[in-house]
């Protein structure tokens, strides 16, 4: 379990993370979303024990992580910008990891050769960007971490490799309750992988929910009524976060319980009424719109 309590981090005068509370349950996969510069990387680096929080605490398995060698051996962090020792081959880097991570599993490393299929005598800096990312996963997953922290991990991986890596992650989560936190802008991917979602904006956590609850709480509906007054009646009763007109049909993004929404809309006898599936990307955009980070049609 990862727990952040009232965590704040500043760089000079700028507050990158502001009074954040997050709990990532053991064995769950948590997707950390947010606008550019929201503070995701800063928060992940504090979770990995790289940055010290200004105030508040970050613990893993109830132990503060900063400068704690014992707990850091259970944590693997794959940053958005990868670093390997210059000139090292995969085998040499694996040896280095083996000396640091006490849970390193050589047989796992060998088994994962079937997934990654890269010659371990190759120098890492001569591999392609995507192949280097594969090596980062290969090494991290061979450390058998209790906690895996991933910052923009999917970029540069081809679709087949993404699926293979997802399968290995799911296996580790199911078999040994590995806890995973992933920051990504690829919401399609996050939707596939994660069971919990946190959304950050300007250093704050503005939404934290189970993905299923988030989906159950936000709906996209398509309605048409005989008169505008009928539509106004339902809009007044619903929590509408976005509204647009497509011909005679209105598309509304509405928060609340589905049964309640259906009851309110049907009370005005619509001649069109559909509930449409809402993607995580759409939910993200509407949540961000609520805190003033909206899509605008900017013509220059
Ligand atoms: N080492 C640093 N020194 C000074 N300021 C920093 C440093 N790292 C991050 N920041 C600032 O902290 C804020 C949060 O940055 P961070 O990298 O955590 O955002 P992010 O959510 O990961 O963004 P993105 O999605 O663009 O990668 C930004 O305003 C950034 O300029």
Q: Tens-digit pLDDT profile for the chain (300 aa)?
A: 999 999 999 998 899 999 999 999 999 999 999 989 999 999 999 999 999 999 999 999 999 998 888 888 899 999 999 999 989 999 999 999 999 999 999 999 999 999 999 999 999 999 999 999 999 999 999 999 999 999 998 878 999 999 999 999 999 999 999 999 999 988 888 888 999 999 999 999 998 989 888 888 889 999 999 988 998 999 999 999 888 888 889 999 998 999 999 999 999 999 999 998 888 888 888 888 777 776 665 555
For residue 200, give the ligand 1 atom closest to its CA.
Answer: 21
Task: Give the Cα separation of 227 and 43 in Å (integer).
Answer: 50
Ligand 1 centroid, distance to 41 Cα (angstroms): 7
Expressed in angstroms and rounded, the spacing between residue 194 Cα and the centre of ligand 1 is 23
What per-residue string of b and e applies to 251-272 under the rule 16 or more CB within 10 Å gives b? ebbbebeeeebeebbeebebee
Which residues make Cβ contacts (< 8 Å) with residue 68, sequence separation at least 6? 49
Write the residue with the smallest CA distance to atom 8 of ligand 1: 42
Q: Is 282 left (phi over 0), alpha (psi -120 to 50) or beta?
A: alpha
So what's the ipTM on this one?
0.97
Structural domain tally of the chain?
2
Determine, yes or no, domain membership for 298: no
Spell out which residues line ligand 1, taking CB within 6 angstroms. Answer: 11, 14, 16, 34, 36-42
Q: List the domain range (segments joined by +) for residue 262.
A: 215-290
Residues 266 and 179 in one domain: no
Say whether both 49 and 130 belong to one domain. yes
Domain membership of residue 209 (yes or no) is: no
CATH number at residue 282: 3.30.70.120
Q: Would 299 be classed as within a structural domain?
A: no
Say whether both 137 and 169 belong to one domain: yes
**Which of 218, 187, 154 has the alpha carbon at shortest distance from 34?**
187
Residues 158 and 271 in one domain: no
Segment (H or E) for 284: helix 280-290
Helices and strands, counts by H and E, the chain? 12, 14
Task: Return the residue whose CA atom lies nearest to atom 9 of ligand 1.
Answer: 42
Residue nearest to atom 7 of ligand 1 (CA): 11
């Amino acid at each position: 379990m990862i727990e952040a309590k009232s965590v704040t981090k500043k760089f000079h005068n700028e507050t990158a993370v502001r009074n954040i509370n997050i709990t990532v349950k053991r064995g769950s996969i948590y997707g950390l979303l947010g606008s550019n510069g929201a503070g995701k990387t800063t928060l992940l680096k504090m979770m990995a024990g790289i940055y010290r929080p200004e105030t508040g605490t970050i613990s893993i398995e109830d132990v503060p992580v900063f400068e704690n060698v014992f707990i850091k051996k259970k944590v693997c962090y794959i940053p958005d910008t990868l670093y390997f020792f210059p000139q090292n081959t995969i085998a040499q880097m694996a040896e280095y990891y083996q000396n640091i991570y006490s849970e390193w599993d050589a047989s796992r490393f060998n088994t994962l050769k079937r997934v990654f299929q890269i010659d371990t005598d190759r120098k890492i800096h001569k591999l392609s960007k995507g192949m280097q990312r594969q090596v980062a996963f290969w090494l991290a997953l061979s450390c058998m971490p209790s906690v895996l922290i991933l910052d923009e991990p999917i970029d540069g991986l081809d679709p087949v490799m993404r699926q293979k890596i997802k399968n290995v992650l799911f296996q580790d989560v199911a078999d040994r309750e590995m806890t995973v936190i992933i920051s990504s802008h690829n919401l399609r991917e996050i939707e596939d992988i994660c069971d919990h979602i946190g959304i950050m904006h300007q250093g704050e956590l503005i939404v934290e929910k189970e993905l299923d609850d988030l989906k159950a709480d936000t709906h996209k509906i398509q309605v048409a009524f005989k008169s505008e007054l009928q539509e106004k009646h339902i809009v007044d009763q619903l929590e509408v976060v976005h509204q647009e007109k497509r011909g005679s049909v209105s598309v509304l993004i509405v928060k609340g319980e589905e049964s309640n929404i259906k009851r309110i809309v049907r009370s005005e006898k619509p001649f069109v009424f559909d509930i449409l599936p809402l993607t995580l990307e759409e939910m993200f955009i509407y949540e961000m719109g609520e805190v003033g980070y909206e899509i605008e049609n900017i013509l220059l």
